[in-house]
Amino acid sequence: MDDTASSLACHGLEKYLGEDESRVHVLRGVSLAINPGEVHAVVGPSGCGKSSLLYILGLLDRPDAGTLWIGREEIATLSDDLLSARRNEELGFIFQFHFLLQDFTAIENVVIPMRRLGGSTDGEMRERAAGLLDAVGLSDKADRSSRALSGGEQQRVAIARALANDPAVILADEPTGNLDTANSARVFALLKDLVHRERKALLLVTHNPAIAQACDWIHTMRDGLIVDSAWHG
Ligand SMILES: Nc1ncnc2c1ncn2[C@@H]1O[C@H](COP(=O)(O)OP(=O)(O)OP(=O)(O)O)[C@@H](O)[C@H]1O
Ligand SMILES: [Mg+2]
């Protein structure tokens, strides 16, 4: 990715969800740009559209209006196949509800996205996955099945999984929501350090004011709009 382009940018994103009388105008024109090396927080009350915005930025849903770029590439021009390729190559997504494969071990959950990308041996993938699990404090639980992990442990596996393919852009929906103070600080430091050191881009949704304050930018959302964007870097 060349350094003059934002890692991720959107302009005028709109989204409607639901049918008929329950139809909601969930995003009403959202614009932002995240440059390499920046950590952005999105804050705002429950239901204001944070997760809906992340799903669109993460190429998991299409907007009803507006434009989205990953690097220099405009997403609307991509076929569904290219869209899923970009999602796997460029984006790491940490879900609000982590969606691990319960029948698989922690390390297998981290290896799965690497296998989709291809190009590495099984040994290389397992070594990288083990390193990521170590970075989130789970080296001793790599071979446990996901269903035998606590909520916070599962969340940390999900964070390791999001980093599996070394994404340029990381989107995280309350990545520390299930974590105690120590683990919350640890994974936030890990993500922030990675972004600053390797010029990645991170957008995270958080209800934790201490984490929001430690980000380079804070965007405040209300009723489907960003009503304030403040630089804290
Ligand atoms: N499939 C759907 N059909 C209709 N409305 C929906 C649908 N999904 C979400 N909504 C509504 O869209 C709005 C935005 O939801 P969203 O999940 O983006 O909120 P959020 O800001 O992430 O909230 P939270 O902090 O609780 O996670 C909410 O009012 C929600 O009820
Ligand atoms: Mg949400």
Closest CA to 91 of 62, 113, 119: 113
- Return the HEC string of 3-25: CCCCCEEEEEEEEEECCHHHCEE
Nearest CA among 53, 134, 213 for reference residue 142: 134
Please choose, from the candidates 141, 140, 135, the residue with its C-alpha nearest in 3D space to the C-alpha of residue 154: 141
Residue 151 near ligand 1, beta carbon < 6 Å: no
Distance 103 CA to ligand 1 centre (A): 29
- pTM for the model stands at 0.94
Q: Is the CB of 206 under 6 A from ligand 1?
A: no
Q: Quick one: which atom of ligand 1 is closest to the CA of 54? A: 18
Report the nearest-CA residue for atom 16 of ligand 1.
49
Model confidence over 35-70: pLDDT tens digits? Answer: 999 999 999 999 999 999 999 999 999 999 999 999
Q: How far apart are CA 187 and CA 185, in angstroms?
A: 6
Cβ–ligand 1 distance for 154 under 6 Å, the answer: no
> What residue owns the CA closest to ligand 1's atom 17?
51
pLDDT tens for each residue of 82-133: 999 999 999 999 987 878 999 999 999 999 999 999 999 999 999 999 999 9
- What are the backbone dihedrals phi and psi of residue 53, each rounded to the nearest 5 degrees, phi first? -65, -45
Q: How far apart are CA 227 and CA 233, in angstroms?
A: 19
Q: Which amino acid is at 185?
A: A
Using the structure block, give the residue that is written with the tokens 């390193």.
131
State in Å: Cα 30 to ligand 2 middle: 16
Assign 1 a pLDDT band (cuts: 50, 70, 90). Answer: very low
- At 183, the amino acid letter reads N
Instruction: Report CA(143)–ligand 2 centroid distance (Å).
Output: 30
Encoding tokens for residue 40? 């952005």
Query: Whose structure tokens read 């614009």?
Result: 31
Distance 120 CA to ligand 1 centre (A): 38
* Residues forming beta bridges with residue 204, ordered by sequence position: 41, 172
Strand partners, 108: none
